[in-house]
Structure formats: structure tokens, C-alpha cells
Amino acid sequence: MKLSMKQTARRIIVVAGLLAGAASLALAHHSYSAFDMVELVTVTGTVKKLDWTNPHTWIWLDVVNEKGVAQTWGIEGMSPNYLARRGWSRTTLKPGEKISITLHPLKSGENGGTWVDAKRPNGETLKMGGAITEP
Amino acid sequence: MPWGFLEVLESVRRPMNTTRQIRFMLLAAAVSCATVAVGQKVAPKAPTAQDWTAVAKLPDFTGVWEAGLGGGAGRAGGAPAATAGANGAATNGPAAPPAGRAAAPARAAGGGARASGPSLTPAYAAKAQEQAKALAATTRPEDNLTANCLPPGLPGIMGQPYPMEFLLTPGQVTIVIEAYNQIRHIYTDGRPLPEDPDPTFYGTSVGHWEGETLAAETVGFAQVPRGITFPYSDKMKIVERFHLTAPDSMTIETTIVDPEALTAPYAMGSRTLVRHRSWTIAEYICEENNRNSVDEQGKSKINLANPNASAK
């Protein structure tokens, strides 16, 4: 498992489209003030567990950093209520599977952030703000 | 021995001897008398088959409805003179807060200076200015109490990006709100609005049908975050008009009336909900795994401790 971390500050405008759905939704419960909503970080690791819980899902990802030290990242996602209507289930991410997650990191510098996008090893992207799958 | 509520519960669980049976019956009689006494006020009656037939003839509000992201395309417009930052929202987020987002009450209303905003009375314009000044003198709150799982009051609760289910029964419209697992009752049995209601998050609602439109009026509001960004009085009334604009489309128009705070009714605009026939309301226990919080200084935090805290 190798850490691939791109810390690229981009203009909000670039990611605005990507975030439009996600941000406004989660705003119902809390603001994004704890996160750096400009910076994007991508962490690659192994899923430790998915908390399929309200008010947010939490993805816990085991990541090995540049120094070879294993760290657990906590990534906040949409609620299970929201995701279940958009093609997700509690087994969409399974413990042990590899995934790269792009997130807005916590300003505190802790190993955590809010989900922006993700990619599975087979190239499949995993979004949270997708279209409604149940009529 | 006092015959308390717990004892009543206990008596349900274990067999009663004769004495206990008599005491239980006496208590039951006392309780039913009390119910009648209270009941005389609102005179509820058991619904008849005719009442249910009348419900069946009402517009079909049944099912689960959602405004969609950010309160939906039809989100209430005309936000008062408050910006994302002014109502306690994230100041660095890419999106404006949804209309229904709960804001700390009474911030930076600007005295109705904007054409689209509420028109405040001089006294409340002064109040709004004082509050804006007080806010400017402190660090701007990074979040509001919804981060701690406190639900927003009306009208904010109606603008959450989660669905609502409408239940029509004789004399009542019940709205089951998925966000924060909340519920509203709109009494349509002809009772008047209460004269001196206890102030609450959602107030006390009565409604009536004007043709195909459900017109509801609500009074009795506590000073809690409710998505109203100007100071309001205890005389505030929220008027909502619900009507179907297409088979699976419902519009809710919300107007705020406040003789002390507003010089004219403030129309918040309309919100459009879409019906999803296959949906059911899901559980939303905010305290289940809430890692967000905001402290008394308005500082927001995320708690990453103990990833194993959640059993799910």
C-alpha cells in the first residue's frame, strides 16, 4: 500500500461543480468551517470500516504515509439516508478493499476530511452526489 | 402508599391481587375523567366513516416528498439582508446555505433595507442593528446548534434536504420529517389558534382547506435557530399554503406575519417538493454518530477519536 498524496490548492471555482450537491446537502447539519474547502488531498489506503450512520457516514481508511507509518484517516460522507437513495448501500465500501479518496482536509491538521470523490483500483469513480436511483 | 405512574407500569407487568386491581380501576377511572375534562376544550370526536370519506376527497398529499438538494430549485427566495456568513454559515464553503438552514436567530437584518428582505418596524430595525453590532464585535460563529443535533424550528425544518411524508386523517394533517426525526401536526378540525401558546420549535398549527389548498397558520415560537435572520416577536405567525401544482409536485408558500417586528407580511417565497412514490421515510437519529459540534464560543469541531465508537 502506497500513499499517494497530492496536496494541490485549487480555486474553488474548479471544484464548485463537483461540490455543488455535496456541500449544500451536508450544510443542513453543519457548516464546513472545520475543513479547508480549497485544498484537496487524495489519500490511498485500505478501508478499515464504513460507519453507515447518521448524521453522516464515516469512512475509516488505513493509510501508510511517506515515512512508512500506518495512520487511520476519518472521512466524513453524506448520510446513509441520502446515499441509499442514490445507489449506495452499507456494503458499497467493504473492510479490506483498496480505494483512493479525495477530500477537503481538516484545518486542524488531523488525519481527516470531508469526502469529495473516490476512485477504486479498477478506475471506477465513487461519488456521493449522484442522481436519485429510486423513483 | 402513593400510587405513581411507575407503579401503573409495573402493574401491567405482574399479576394483580384484588386490592391492586381495585386501585388500578380507580386510577383508570380518574385518568379517563381527566381526559374528558381536557377533551371538553377541543371537543375531539371519534372519526366516522363519513369523516374518512371526506379525507379521501381531499387533494392527494399522501406519500413522501423532497425538495432536493439545498432545499430544491424552489427554495424559498427573498432571504432577508443576511449573507452566508451573517447567519452563521460556513464562511469559506463553496455553496450558499439552503434557505431552510437554521441560523442563529436575529442577525444582521439590515432593517429591511433590501427590497427582497423583510420590512422591519423601527423598533425591530434598531434591535437588528444592535444585534448586528454585537455580532461584529465578536468572533463570527463558525456553525450553529444544528451541528450539535438540535433541530431547527419552523420554517427551517421545512427546508431540510431530506424528505417529508404527509399523512391526512380526519381533523389533522401530520408531517413526518425525516431530518432529525421530527414531526408536525396541523389541526384541521376547526379549532382556533391558541391565544397564549407555550413557545416551541414548531409552534402550534391549525389549518383549513381553501379548495385544493391547505392553508396553515402557526403561532407560539421559541427563540431558537429557525432560519429566520431578523428579530421576531412572540406575536409572529407563520402562514403556509400547500398545494399540488402537478400530480407529483407540491408547492409551499411561506409568509411571515409579525405585527411588532414587521411593517408588512414577509413573503419568503415558495418551495417545490417532488413526490417519490417508492420512498419511505428513513430513520435519522442525529445523536447516533455525530462527530460534529459547535461550542459556546461558536467554534466548530470534528471529533475523530475512537473510530470504533459506532457499532454499525
Question: ipTM for the complex?
Answer: 0.80
Counting as low any pLDDT under 70, the low residues of chain A are 1-28
pLDDT, chain A, mean: 83
Mutate to test the interface with B, among A47, A54, A81 (most CBs of B within 10 A): A54
Model confidence band, residue B308 (pLDDT cutoffs 50, 70, 90): confident
Higher pLDDT, B308 or B232: B232
CA B28 remoteness from chain centre: 34
Q: How close is the nearest chain B Cα to the Cα of A15, in Å?
A: 9
Question: What was the pLDDT predicted at B281?
Answer: 98
Q: Give chain A positions within 8 Å (CB) of B92.
A: 32-33, 36-38
Q: How close is the nearest chain A Cα to the Cα of B186, in Å?
A: 24
Closest CA to A105 of A54, A133, A63: A63
Tens of pLDDT, residues B242-277: 999 999 999 999 999 999 999 999 999 999 999 999
Cα-based distances in Å from B7 to B11, B15, B17: 6, 12, 14
Of all residues in chain B, the percent with pLDDT exceeding 90 is 58
pLDDT, chain B, mean: 78
Higher pLDDT, B196 or B141: B196
Mark yes or no for CB contact A37/B90 under 8 Å. yes
Neighbouring residues of B264: CB distance < 8 A, sequence distance ≥ 6:
B119
Q: Return the C-alpha cell found at B13.
A: 407487568
Considering only residues 245 to 304 of chain B, which have any Cβ-Cβ distance to chain A shorter than 8 Å? 276-279, 282-286, 288-292, 294, 300-302, 304
Q: For residues B97 and B107, what is the distance between their CA atoms, to the nearest angstrom?
A: 15
Question: What was the pLDDT predicted at A109?
Answer: 95
Question: What was the pLDDT predicted at A31?
Answer: 81
Q: For residues B250 and B163, what is the distance between their CA atoms, to the nearest angstrom?
A: 13
pLDDT greater than 60 at residue B90: no
Higher pLDDT, B167 or B85: B167
Minimum mean pLDDT range among A27-31, B18-22, B137-141: B18-22
Q: For residues A82 and A56, what is the distance between their CA atoms, to the nearest angstrom?
A: 9
Q: Give chain A positions within 8 Å (CB) of B285.
A: 54
Model confidence band, residue B307 (pLDDT cutoffs 50, 70, 90): confident
Question: What was the pLDDT predicted at B44?
Answer: 76
Tens of pLDDT, residues B113-126: 334 689 999 999 99
CB of B43 less than 8 A from some CB of A: no
Considering only residues 99 to 128 of chain B, which have any Cβ-Cβ distance to chain A shorter than 8 Å? 100-101
Mark yes or no for CB contact A19/B88 under 8 Å. no
